[in-house]
C-alpha cells in the first residue's frame, strides 16, 4: 500500500501523469474490498504514508534549511505531520469497511468515491486546512478538466475516484466489461463536453503585465545588508517595464516593514511609475493590534491600497495551541511567524478593472478566492516558494493555482520570488512561465473575464451535500441487505 500511495504523487506536477491517480485509488479500493476488515485501518494508513511521505516531503526541506531546525528535529516534525495526514485515509478505510462489511464491486465503484470526496473536504478545513494533493488538482488542461468549473477540485476528485472504482470493478468482475466501459466512457465524454462550454466572457481590453521574479535566496533575503540591493533590484526591474499596465512583485519582495521604506523609497518610486499599477508584497505593521500583516500593496496609489492575507499557514505564520506546543516553537526560527489575520472580500482596482489578490497558500482555497467574484476580472497570487527550494512544492503550488483559475473562470497572474512565476488563463492553461531560480521579468498579456462559473457561485456545498447523501444511502442500503 505504501507503493500504491506513492504512485498517486505521479498524478501531480511536475510529473502530470493524471491516470496514475486512477490506478493508485483503484489499488486502494481493491485491497480494502478484499482484505479482512480488521486490516482496513492499517491499509489506509500505509496508503496515506505513501502519498504524503513522498508528496509533502518538501516540508523537511523547509524546516531544516530555512527554519534552522537541526536534521533530527526537522525529520521528527515532518514524520509527525505525514503520520497525522495519513490518519485521515486510515479512518476512511475503517469507516468504509464498517459500513460495507461485504462490499459489492458496484458499491466500491459508485459509493466509495463519495467517501473519498468527504475525506478531501475534511482535509480542506480541518486544523486550518491543507487542501494539497487533492485528486482534482491533477486535472487542469486535461480531458476531465471540464468538471472543474462545475464543481471545483472536489468534483474533479469524485470523477477520478469513480474512474478508479470502475477500474476496480472491471478487475473484480470482468464479465461486466461492457457496462463498466460504458459508464467510464460517459464520464470521460462528459468532461470533454464540459470543456467546450464557455461559462465566462471576455471583458474589456487585455492588460499588459510584467511579473517580477527577483530570485533572492531565502537564506539571504532578510539579512540587513541585502535590503538596499533588493530594493534597488525591484526598482530597476519595474522601471525597465514602464510600458506595462500592471507590474507585480512577489510575496514579501520588500524585506522590511512598509512604514520603514515608505518615505525614502516608495514615494519616489510612485512618482516614477505614475500611470501604471504596481503591486508589491510587504509586511505592514498594525500598531493598534501590535502585529504584522502579510500584505499586497498597490504602491502607486494614494494611501497605499492594500490586501492583508486572510488564510494564514499553521506553524508558518501563526502557532496554534502555543501553551501545549510551545516547545516546538522554540525549535524553529521562522521570520515573521506571528502574523495577524486580514479580512475577507479582497479587491484592488487596476486600470478600471477589479483584481482579486491572494498570497501564497491562499491559492489552494478557490472557495475563498471566489469572495472577490463577480467583480474581480483577474486574479493575482504572489508567493515566495524559495522556502521549498528545488523540491516538488513549487510545481504542485503552480498546479493548484491553475486549478483555482479553471474552477473560477478567471485568469491568474502568479508572481514568485524564485519560481514558478506564470501567466495562467481562465481555463487553467499556462500561457507563459519563467524558469525557476532565474532572475526575470515575465512579460505577457492577460484578458480580463466576467461571469460566474457554477463553482464560483455555489462553491463546495453541492458536491459535499451530494457526497454525504450518496454515502449515507449506500450505508443504509448495505445495512438493509445485510439484515435481510
Low-confidence winner among 62-71, 139-148, 257-266, 290-299 (lowest mean pLDDT): 62-71
**Span 329-334, average pLDDT:** 52
Beta-carbon contacts of residue 77 (< 8 Å; ≥ 6 apart) = 59, 63, 69, 328, 331
Cβ burial 223-261 (10 Å sphere, 16+ → b, else e): eeeebeebbebbbebbeebeebbbbbbbbbbbbbebeeb
CA dist., res. 58 & res. 418, Å (int):
15
Are 196 and 189 within 8 A, CB to CB? no
Catalytic residue among 120, 221, 309, 475: 309
CA dist., res. 346 & res. 368, Å (int):
10
Radius of gyration of the chain measured on its C-alpha atoms: 23
pLDDT higher than threshold 60 for residue 374: yes
| C-alpha closest to that of 355 among 460, 203, 137 | 203
Residue whose entry in the numeric block shows the C-alpha cell 480541518: 126
Position 322 scores a pLDDT of 45
Outline which parts of the chain fall under CATH 3.60.110.10.
Answer: 201-452
Q: Are strands 207-213 and 422-424 parallel, antiparallel or unpaired?
A: unpaired
Tens-place pLDDT, residues 196-219: 999 999 998 999 999 999 999 888
Higher-pLDDT residue of 455, 352: 455
Catalytic residue among 360, 362, 368, 475: 360
Give catalytic status of residue 360 as yes or no. Answer: yes
* pTM for the whole structure: 0.92
pLDDT higher than threshold 50 for residue 324: no
Position 380 scores a pLDDT of 97
Catalytic residue among 251, 317, 362, 368: 251
Indicate the pLDDT class of residue 337, thresholds 50, 70 and 90: low
Q: What angle in degrees, to the nearest 10, is found between the helix axes of 71-99 and 461-483?
A: 50
Position 225 scores a pLDDT of 93
Position 66 scores a pLDDT of 59
Position 321 scores a pLDDT of 45
How many residues does the structure list for the chain? 484
For the structural domain made of 201-452, what CATH number should be given?
Answer: 3.60.110.10
Distance of CA 414 to the CA centre of its chain: 12
Q: What angle in degrees, to the nearest 10, is found between the helix axes of 148-172 and 19-34?
A: 50
Position 323 scores a pLDDT of 46
Position 480 scores a pLDDT of 62
| C-alpha closest to that of 372 among 298, 307, 430 | 307
**Span 259-278, average pLDDT:** 91
Burial of 119 (0-12, 13-18, 19+ CB in 10 A): buried
Tens-place pLDDT, residues 299-316: 876 666 889 999 887 656
Q: Are strands 201-202 and 376-383 parallel, antiparallel or unpaired?
A: unpaired
Indicate the pLDDT class of residue 281, thresholds 50, 70 and 90: very high
pLDDT higher than threshold 50 for residue 348: yes
Position 59 scores a pLDDT of 86
CA dist., res. 301 & res. 305, Å (int):
6
Are 346 and 307 within 8 A, CB to CB? yes
pLDDT higher than threshold 50 for residue 435: yes
Grid coordinates given for 215 = 530570485
Burial of 323 (0-12, 13-18, 19+ CB in 10 A): exposed
**Span 145-169, average pLDDT:** 96
Position 424 scores a pLDDT of 98
Low-confidence winner among 64-73, 110-119, 220-229, 288-297 (lowest mean pLDDT): 64-73
Per-chain mean pLDDT for the chain: 90
Low-confidence winner among 32-36, 272-276, 315-319, 337-341 (lowest mean pLDDT): 315-319
Low-confidence winner among 6-10, 75-79, 356-360, 437-441 (lowest mean pLDDT): 75-79
**Sign of the CA dihedral with 397 first, then 399, 402, and 404 last:** negative
CA dist., res. 426 & res. 242, Å (int):
26
Please compute, for residue 457, the number of CA atoms within 13 A of its CA located in the half-sphere on the CB side. Answer: 9
Beta-carbon contacts of residue 319 (< 8 Å; ≥ 6 apart) = 325, 326, 329, 337, 338
Position 332 scores a pLDDT of 52
Tens-place pLDDT, residues 104-137: 999 999 999 999 999 999 999 998 889 999 999 9
Beta-bridge partner residues of 304: none
In the chain, the percentage of residues whose pLDDT exceeds 90 is 69
Amino acid at each position: 500500500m505504501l507503493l500504491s500511495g506513492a504512485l498517486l504523487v505521479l498524478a501531480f506536477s511536475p510529473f502530470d501523469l493524471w491516470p496514475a491517480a486512477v490506478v493508485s485509488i483503484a489499488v486502494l479500493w481493491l485491497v480494502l474490498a478484499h482484505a479482512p476488515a480488521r486490516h482496513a485501518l492499517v491499509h489506509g494508513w500505509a496508503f496515506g504514508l505513501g502519498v504524503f511521505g513522498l508528496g509533502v516531503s518538501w516540508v523537511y526541506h523547509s524546516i531544516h534549511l530555512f527554519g534552522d531546525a537541526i536534521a533530527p528535529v526537522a525529520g521528527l516534525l515532518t514524520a509527525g505531520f505525514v503520520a497525522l495526514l495519513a490518519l485521515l485515509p486510515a479512518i476512511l478505510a475503517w469507516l468504509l469497511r464498517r459500513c460495507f462489511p461485504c462490499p459489492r464491486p458496484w458499491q466500491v465503484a459508485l459509493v466509495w468515491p463519495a467517501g473519498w470526496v468527504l475525506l478531501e473536504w475534511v482535509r480542506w478545513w480541518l486544523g486550518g486546512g491543507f487542501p494539497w494533493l487533492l485528486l482534482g488538482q491533477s486535472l487542469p488542461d486535461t480531458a476531465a478538466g471540464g468538471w472543474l468549473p462545475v464543481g471545483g477540485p472536489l468534483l474533479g476528485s469524485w470523477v477520478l475516484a469513480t474512474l478508479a472504482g470502475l477500474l476496480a470493478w472491471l478487475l473484480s468482475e470482468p464479465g461486466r466489461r461492457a457496462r463498466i466501459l460504458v459508464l467510464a466512457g460517459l464520464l470521460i465524454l462528459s468532461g470533454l463536453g464540459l470543456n467546450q462550454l464557455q461559462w465566462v466572457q471576455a471583458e474589456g481590453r487585455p492588460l499588459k503585465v510584467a511579473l517580477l521574479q527577483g530570485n533572492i535566496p531565502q537564506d539571504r533575503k532578510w539579512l540587513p545588508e541585502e535590503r538596499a540591493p533588493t530594493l534597488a533590484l525591484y526598482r530597476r526591474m519595474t522601471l525597465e517595464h514602464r510600458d506595462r499596465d500592471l507590474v507585480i512583485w512577489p510575496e514579501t519582495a520588500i524585506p522590511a516593514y512598509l512604514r520603514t521604506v515608505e518615505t525614502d523609497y516608495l514615494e519616489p518610486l510612485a512618482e516614477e511609475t505614475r500611470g501604471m499599477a504596481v503591486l508589491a508584497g510587504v509586511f505592514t505593521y498594525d500598531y493598534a493590534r501590535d502585529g504584522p500583516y502579510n500584505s499586497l500593496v498597490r504602491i502607486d496609489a494614494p494611501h497605499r491600497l492594500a490586501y492583508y492575507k486572510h488564510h494564514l499557514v499553521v506553524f508558518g505564520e501563526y502557532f496554534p495551541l502555543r501553551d501545549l506546543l510551545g516547545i516546538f516553537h522554540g525549535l524553529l526560527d521562522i521570520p515573521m511567524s506571528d502574523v495577524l489575520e486580514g479580512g475577507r472580500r479582497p479587491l484592488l482596482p487596476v486600470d478600471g478593472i477589479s483584481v482579486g489578490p491572494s498570497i501564497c497558500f491562499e491559492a489552494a482555497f478557490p472557495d475563498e478566492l471566489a469572495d472577490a467574484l463577480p467583480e474581480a476580472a483577474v486574479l493575482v497570487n504572489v508567493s515566495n516558494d524559495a522556502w521549498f527550494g528545488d523540491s516538488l512544492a513549487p510545481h504542485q503550488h503552480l498546479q493548484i493555482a491553475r486549478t483555482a483559475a479553471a474552477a473560477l473562470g478567471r485568469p491568474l497572474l502568479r508572481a514568485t520570488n524564485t519560481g514558478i512565476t506564470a501567466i495562467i488563463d481562465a481555463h487553467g492553461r499556462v500561457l507563459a512561465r519563467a524558469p525557476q531560480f532565474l532572475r526575470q521579468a515575465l512579460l505577457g498579456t492577460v484578458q480580463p473575464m466576467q461571469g460566474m462559473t457554477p463553482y464560483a457561485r455555489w462553491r463546495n456545498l453541492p458536491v459535499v451535500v451530494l457526497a454525504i447523501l450518496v454515502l449515507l444511502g449506500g450505508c443504509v442500503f448495505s445495512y438493509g441487505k445485510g439484515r435481510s
